[in-house]
Amino acid sequence: MSGRTVTPPYHVTNAYESFLEEFRKAVEGRNGQVLPLFVPLGSCFRESSDSGSVDFTICLYLKGCPCKRLPHGKRLDVVIKALETLDKSSWSLMRSSVYLNYFVAVDSMCQLVQSLHYDFVDGGQANHPFFHVQLTDESMPEGDLRSVGFELQLDVSEEPSQCWVDTRIPTPDMTLASVLYCLVADHLAEIFSQFAESVDAVQDRLPTLRFEALTKSLQKSSLHFKSSHWFAHMRLPTEQES
């Protein structure tokens, strides 16, 4: 993603800006912080290798995420990176990957305690559930972390990880907005209802999945063991089923 900057329609950029601002206010209302303090969304949209699409990339650092399970003196930080590709004609999503790294910090040191990403690709990927979350043991590239003000020293174990990194779990379609929405529900439960109401009007303006891809997946749900987005792109109906 190295193309020139692209200016999407106002309703697209404004929807992202409005949602992110409400997310920031929710986090700051619980004594957390979202970095960088200002995200110039104009620079987040760039021309894709396919002239009919636009890439949207953003990285956020949620510093001081409320977590009741952590003892005093420890802090939960979350870094989120979204890579989304939008169709220029409809400004719907052709692809969405949202990465999350969860770190437990003590003073200037931290440990990566959970890494995952949500994936959707129009048309599907071989041997991947149509929509899925993949659990991994990998930290984001250091350049991404440092670009959002992440200054902690990562404590890397000398022992090889035993994480089964190929675990892919079918999910609903989880885009950047969906993931941030869930973060508020998980960690800011006391104000979730207020946040949900504040972003309700933004929903219709945020980019959605291309309807054709979603429709095809749902139509094949009977072939995939009660999970509508299991491997819906990989199996065609037999003559008896069609």
Rounded Cα distance, 217 and 200, in Å: 26
Name 42's Cβ contacts closer than 8 Å, sequence gap at least 6. Answer: 5, 7, 13
Closest CA to 21 of 145, 195, 174, 189: 195
DSSP state, residue 241? T
pLDDT reported for residue 170:
86
Rounded Cα distance, 27 and 61, in Å: 11
Rounded Cα distance, 240 and 229, in Å: 21
Question: Would you kindly state where each structural domain of the chain is located, as residue ranges?
Answer: 10-208
Residue where the block lists tokens 């890494």: 115
Rounded Cα distance, 70 and 222, in Å: 42
Which H/E stretch holds residue 183?
helix 176-187
pLDDT reported for residue 42:
84
Mean pLDDT per 10-residue interval, the chain, length 242 residues = 82 94 95 92 90 94 92 94 94 94 95 92 82 89 95 81 73 92 95 95 87 71 68 64 50
Which residues are paired to 101 by β-bridges?
Answer: 79, 115
Which residues are paired to 5 by β-bridges?
Answer: 46
What Å distances lie between residue 113 and 154, 155, 168, 238, CA to CA? 11, 11, 18, 44
Phi first, then psi, for residue 79 (nearest 5°) are: -110, 130
